């Protein structure tokens, strides 16, 4: 059960356009948005940051950004974000399900390129608490990415670090669609909804 209730109807109405867009794209409004809306400035700031980090066309392909988000959130232990990110990897990133299922073996799976391995290795190290990123991670990144692209990757990891803390601390309840997606695709890798199940 969530530890804090959703924003008031009046606050939610303030973000009607954002919520309607989410309903059209996903079929639902994330429960995390409903609690974020209690603090309108925070909600707007997070939406702006999400756009800059995840939607802005940079050097790092969308699919890799989403896989970085998934690995970083898993390293942090946030089951809410891993469920959402896994769904996004397949649906928005157009990554084949086979590759999503192999994501936890990215270091050895032939489905991943050396560049993807470098980015995902950093996500795994930096996503944990405390982060364990080293110079060696960045030496490997430099073989495949510019410094601007490295900043894009670190931005994804950092953005999800904030969301991981928000959703785990508040025990944000998983919506039906990402919950079912995660049960279907992530359970074999040890995923469970934890505090995020109703």
Inside any domain, residue 82: yes
pLDDT in the model for residue 57: 77
Helix (H, G, I), strand (E, B) or coil at 44: helix
Q: Is the peptide bond before 130 cis (omega within 30 degrees of 0)?
A: yes
Helix (H, G, I), strand (E, B) or coil at 24: helix
For residue 179, give both structure tokens: 């919950």
- Does the structure show a pLDDT above 90 at 1? no
Range of the domain at 170: 61-196
Query: Confidence class of residue 9 from pLDDT cuts 50, 70 and 90?
Result: very high
| Model confidence pLDDT, tens digit, residues 53-97 | 998 779 999 999 999 999 999 999 999 999 999 999 999 999 999
pLDDT in the model for residue 187: 95
Inside any domain, residue 191: yes
3-state helix, strand, coil in the chain (%, to 5): 70, 0, 30
Inside any domain, residue 90: yes
| Model confidence pLDDT, tens digit, residues 140-155 | 999 999 999 999 999 9
- End-to-end Cα distance, the chain: 6
- Give the span between the Cα atoms of 120 and 66, in whole angstroms: 10
Please give the tally of structural domains in the chain: 1
Query: Confidence class of residue 23 from pLDDT cuts 50, 70 and 90?
Result: very high
Would you give the distance in Å from CA 73 to the centre of its chain? 6
pLDDT in the model for residue 55: 86
Inside any domain, residue 15: no
| Model confidence pLDDT, tens digit, residues 94-131 | 999 999 999 999 999 999 999 999 999 999 999 999 99
The backbone region for 190, taken as left when phi is positive above 0, alpha when psi lies in -120 to 50, beta otherwise, is left
- Give the span between the Cα atoms of 136 and 152, in whole angstroms: 18
Output the average pLDDT for the chain.
96
Inside any domain, residue 33: no
pLDDT in the model for residue 88: 96
State whether the Cα torsion 154-67-138-149 is positive or negative. Answer: negative
pLDDT in the model for residue 56: 73
Inside any domain, residue 172: yes
pTM of the model: 0.95
Mean pLDDT for the stretch of residues 22-32:
93
What's the chain's length in residues? 198
Q: Are 102 and 109 in contact (CB under 8 A)?
A: yes
CATH number at residue 176: 1.20.1290.10
Inside any domain, residue 139: yes
Place of tokens 């925070």: 42
DSSP string, 73-132: HHHHT-HHHHHHHHHHHHHTT---HHHHHTGGGTTT-TTS-HHHHHHHHHHHHHHSSS--
- Does the structure show a pLDDT above 80 at 191? yes
Query: Confidence class of residue 2 from pLDDT cuts 50, 70 and 90?
Result: confident
């Amino acid at each position: 059960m969530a530890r804090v209730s959703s924003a008031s109807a009046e606050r939610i109405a303030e973000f009607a356009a954002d919520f309607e867009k989410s309903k059209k794209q996903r079929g639902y409004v994330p429960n995390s948005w409903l609690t974020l809306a209690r603090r309108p400035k925070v909600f707007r700031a997070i939406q702006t940051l999400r756009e800059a980090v995840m939607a802005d066309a940079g050097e790092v392909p969308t699919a890799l950004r989403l896989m970085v988000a998934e690995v970083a959130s898993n390293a942090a232990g946030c089951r809410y974000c891993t469920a959402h990110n896994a769904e996004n990897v397949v649906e928005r990133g157009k990554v084949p399900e086979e590759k999503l299922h192999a994501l936890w073996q990215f270091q050895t799976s032939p489905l991943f390129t050396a560049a993807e391995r470098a980015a995902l290795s950093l996500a795994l190290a930096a996503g944990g608490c405390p982060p364990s990123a080293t110079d060696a991670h960045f030496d490997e990144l430099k073989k495949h990415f510019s410094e601007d692209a490295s900043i894009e990757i670190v931005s994804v990891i950092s953005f999800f670090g904030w969301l991981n803390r928000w959703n785990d601390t508040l025990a944000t309840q998983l919506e039906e669609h990402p919950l079912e997606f995660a049960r279907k695709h992530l359970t074999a890798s040890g995923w469970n909804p934890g505090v995020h199940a109703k």
